Amino acid sequence: MYLSDKSELASPNIDRGEWSHLHHLLDLIGALADSHLYGRFLQPTLRPVQAGGLLFLEGAAATSIHVVRTGVFKVFRTTEDGYEQVVGFARRGELLGFDALSDARHCTTTVALEEASVYSVSLADFYALRQDLPSFDHGVMRAAAKAMVELTRVLEMMAAAAAEVRLARFLLHVSDCMSNGGHSPSSLRLQMTRRDIGSYLGVAHETISRAFGALMEAGLIEVDQRKIEILDIKALRRYSQSMRAPAKGDAPKS
Amino acid sequence: MYLSDKSELASPNIDRGEWSHLHHLLDLIGALADSHLYGRFLQPTLRPVQAGGLLFLEGAAATSIHVVRTGVFKVFRTTEDGYEQVVGFARRGELLGFDALSDARHCTTTVALEEASVYSVSLADFYALRQDLPSFDHGVMRAAAKAMVELTRVLEMMAAAAAEVRLARFLLHVSDCMSNGGHSPSSLRLQMTRRDIGSYLGVAHETISRAFGALMEAGLIEVDQRKIEILDIKALRRYSQSMRAPAKGDAPKS
DNA sequence: CGTGATCTTGAAGGGGGTCAACTGGAGTGG
DNA sequence: CCACTCCAGTTGACCCCCTTCAAGATCACG
Give residue-wise pLDDT tens across range B68-92. 999 999 999 998 878 899 999 999 9
Q: For A130-147, how does the pLDDT look when each residue is reduced to its tens digit (9 = 90+)?
A: 988 989 999 999 999 999
Q: Which residues in chain B have Cβ-Cβ distances shorter than 8 Å to A58?
A: none
Domain count, chain A: 2
Say yes or no: B129 and B21 in one domain. Answer: yes
A230 within some domain = yes
Separation of alpha carbons B169 and B237, rounded Å: 8
Say yes or no: B121 and B40 in one domain. Answer: yes
**Residue finishing a domain among A118, A152, A186:** A152
Domain containing residue A25: CATH number: 2.60.120.10
Whether the CB of B85 is below 8 Å from some CB of chain A: the reply is yes
User: Is A155 close to B204, i.e. CB distance below 8 A?
Assistant: no
Is the overall model pTM greater than 0.95, yes or no? no
Whether the CB of A179 is below 8 Å from some CB of chain B: the reply is no
pLDDT of res. B35: 56
Range of the domain at B212: 160-240
A224 within some domain = yes
Does residue A189 reach within 7 angstroms of strand D, measured from its CB? no
Say yes or no: A135 and A26 in one domain. Answer: yes
User: Is B159 close to A85, i.e. CB distance below 8 A?
Assistant: yes
The 3-state secondary structure of chain B reads: CHHHHHHHHHCCCHHHCCCCHHHHHHHHCCCCCCCCCCCCCCCCEEEEECCCCEEECCCCECCEEEEEEECCEEEEEECCCCCEEEEEEECCCCEECHHHHCCCECCCEEEECCCEEEEEEEHHHHHHHHHHCHHHHHHHHHHHHHHHHHHHHHHHHHCCCCHHHHHHHHHHHHHHHHHHCCCCCCEEECCCCHHHHHHHHCCCHHHHHHHHHHHHHCCCEEEECCEEEECCHHHHHHHHHCCCCCCCCCCCCC
Whether the CB of B237 is below 8 Å from some CB of chain A: the reply is no
Other residues' Cβ atoms within 10 Å of the Cβ of residue B159? 22
Say yes or no: B73 and B181 in one domain. Answer: no
- Interface A-B, measured as beta-carbon pairs within 8 A, has a size of 119
Whether the CB of A62 is below 8 Å from some CB of chain B: the reply is no
Say yes or no: A30 and A108 in one domain. Answer: yes
Whether the CB of A104 is below 8 Å from some CB of chain B: the reply is no
Say yes or no: B147 and B181 in one domain. Answer: no
Say yes or no: B102 and B29 in one domain. Answer: yes
Nucleotides of D under 7 A from a protein CB: 8-13, 17-22, 27-28
**Residue finishing a domain among A152, A169, A198:** A152
**Residue finishing a domain among B109, B128, B152:** B152
Say yes or no: A164 and A147 in one domain. Answer: no
* pLDDT reading at B211 higher than 50: yes
Domain containing residue B217: CATH number: 1.10.10.10
A217 within some domain = yes
Say yes or no: A142 and A19 in one domain. Answer: yes
Instruction: Kindly state the percentage of chain A with pLDDT values over 90.
Output: 71
B1 within some domain = no
Q: Which amino acid is at A113?
A: L
Nearest to A87 among B152, B160, B241 (CB): B152
Say yes or no: A147 and A165 in one domain. Answer: no
Residue B97: closest C-alpha in chain A: A145
B228 within some domain = yes
Say yes or no: B218 and B117 in one domain. Answer: no
At residue A245 the predicted structure's pLDDT band, cuts being 50, 70 and 90, is low
User: Is B158 close to A158, i.e. CB distance below 8 A?
Assistant: yes
CA distance B12 to chain A (A): 26
User: Buried (b) or exposed (e) across A79-90, using 16+ Cβ within 10 A?
Assistant: eeeeeebbbbbb
Say yes or no: B20 and B144 in one domain. Answer: yes
